[in-house]
Amino acid sequence: MIFFAIYDETPTFGTSPWPFIALMLAGFVIGTFGHITKIKGLVAFGIGLLFLGTFVLPLIITVMKSNS
């Protein structure tokens, strides 16, 4: 019940979340392909894209918008 009390259905992202979702999906697909082919570089690149799309870019955008 506490979840429903604090859940906001319409958060203000300030930007569209779709580019981040696309970046996360691309990272997941590339990482999975890297695991299947056993190419460590692709796995690392996929993990990097996932991290970029889920944490780094949204954090940078949030910090930049809060400073202006």
pLDDT in tens, the chain (68 residues): 455 556 555 556 567 788 888 999 999 999 999 999 999 999 999 999 999 988 888 888 878 877 76
* CA distance linking residue 10 with residue 22, whole number of Å: 20
pLDDT score recorded for residue 10: 58
* CA distance linking residue 33 with residue 51, whole number of Å: 17
Quote the tokens at residue 3. Answer: 């979840």
* CA distance linking residue 22 with residue 47, whole number of Å: 14
pLDDT score recorded for residue 44: 97
Per-residue b or e along 13-26, where b marks 16 or more CB atoms closer than 10 Å to that residue's CB: eeeeeeebeebbee
pLDDT score recorded for residue 39: 96
